[in-house]
Amino acid sequence: MSELLLAPKRMIELEIDGQSVRVFEGETILGACRRLGIDTPTLCYGDTLEPANACRVCVVEVEGARVLAPACSRKAEAGMKVQTDSERVRHSRKMVLELLASSVDLSTTDEIPGYLERYDAQPERFGPPAPPDPDRDRKRTGHHVEPDGQTAATVYAPVKIDNELYVRDYSKCILCYKCVDACGEQFQNTFAIHVAGRGFDARISTEYVAELPDSACVYCGNCIAVCPTGALMFVSEHALRAEGDWREDDQTVTTTVCPYCGVGCNLELHVQDNTIVKVTSPDDHDITRGNLCIKGRFGFQHVQARDAP
């Protein structure tokens, strides 16, 4: 349907790693790389939000530019010459990965082991993790303590389980702000969360660090859908992982239509052992663009809560 409503687009030509490529005007360098089959690492990119442009593992070198450019958001231009695997690019990606991996728990970010190996990143070189900061959630701007240089500061925070539907584990947060964008004006327009604090103390928070049931949250779970590191997770997934029983390889994903109102949102049901363990919506479907409401995201439980007749 949607292609009927789209205007025609102009093609432009650029060069990446010495290869010529033609892309639609408005496409990003990342899009052009993918057309050439150049595997570009990304963490915060990958759904229907505007590129968050935050993690910097996708940086590339653009000839004539002073600084490296994030491939995920920089638009391709006619005649552009791009290097994706130069010494400068490799060095920068390695450093970004080391800083992230030394300070954040990336154990549920599937791409990370491959990226660390590919760039020979050694996050452990900053020393063992520093003791957790118990006041991290309430740190105020301008109160940063100098690190001792012997240990790696982390963003550790206790797991927040304050409702029946989803878990927030900000030890895993790379501060890509995508949850903030999804909750805010890009999709949900609820504005329940935002970034609090500055510098290394920055973290995602509700107003006055309120627990979710006391916040503006409406439990659409659109933040979970865009979280790249598993910091935000269904309670069902969190529990299965804690029991060591989260088996993604054994799961089926079936696309169907939500049973509630008449909008017709597509649901992807992630099923393990004949039980729905997670619900997502396809990013490439123009009804939802990956978004759902509380009923679509969490209202599936009736099919497994009923008694077997």
Partner 1 sequence: MFGAGGGTSSYREMEETDVVLLWGSNARETHPIFFHHLLRGIHNGARLFVIDPRRTTSAQWADRWLGLEVGSDIALSNTVAREIIHAGLANRAFIDNATEGFDAYAASVEPFTLAEGERLTGVPAEAIREMAHAFARADRAMICWTLGITEHHTAVDNVLSLINLALLCGHVGRFGSGLNPLRGQNNVQGGGDMGAIPNKLAGFQDIEQDHEARARFEQAWGVTIRPTYGWHLTQMFDGMEHGELRTLYVIGENPAQSEADINRTRKLLSELDFLVVQDIVLTKTAEMADVVFPSAASWCETDGTVTNSERRVQRVRKALDPPGEARDDMWIITEIARRLGQDWPDPVAEDVWDELRSLSPMHSGKSYARLEELGGIQWPCPDETHPGSPMLHERLWAEPRIGPAAPFTVVEARGPFEELDADYPIRLTTGRRLESYNTGTQTNLYSSPLHRGESLDLSPEDAERLELADGEVARVSSRRGSVEAPVRIDPALRPGLAFMTFHFPDQVDTNQLTIDATDPKSGTAEFKAAAIRVEKIERVEDEERAGVAEHATVGGQQ
Residue 261 binding partner 1, by CB under 8 A? yes
Count of beta carbons in the 10 Å neighbourhood of residue 185? 11
User: Does residue 202 bind partner 1 (CB under 8 A)?
Assistant: no
**Closest approach of partner 1 to the CB of residue 210, in Å:** 12
| Residue 1 touches partner 1, criterion: CB under 8 A | yes
Is 165 a binding residue for partner 1 by CB under 8 A? The answer is: yes
| DSSP structural state of residue 277 | E
What are the φ/ψ torsions at residue 268 (nearest 5 degrees)? Answer: -105, 110
- Residue 303's identity, in one-letter code, is V
Alpha carbon 288 to chain centroid, angstroms: 18
Q: How far is CA 239 from the centre of its chain?
A: 21
Q: Which residue has the tokens 């604090």?
A: 197
Report the alpha-carbon distance of residue 51 to residue 30 in Å, rounded: 11
x/- string (CB under 8 A) for partner 1, residues 167-186? ------------------x-
Site for partner 1 in 284-303 (CB under 8 A): 284-289, 291-296, 298-303
Q: How far is the CB of 40 from partner 1 (least distance, A)?
A: 27
Residue type, 4: L
Q: If binding is defined by CB under 8 A, does position 131 make contact with partner 1?
A: no
* Number of amino acids touching partner 1 (CB under 8 A): 61
Nearest to 232 by CA among 289, 299, 295, 178: 178
- Only one of the segments 25-33, 69-77, 239-247, 280-288 lies at the binding site for partner 1 (rule: CB under 8 A); that segment is 280-288
Where along the sequence are the contacts to partner 1 (CB under 8 A)? 1-2, 4-5, 163-165, 185, 187-189, 212-213, 217-220, 252, 254-266, 269, 271, 274-276, 282, 284-289, 291-296, 298-309
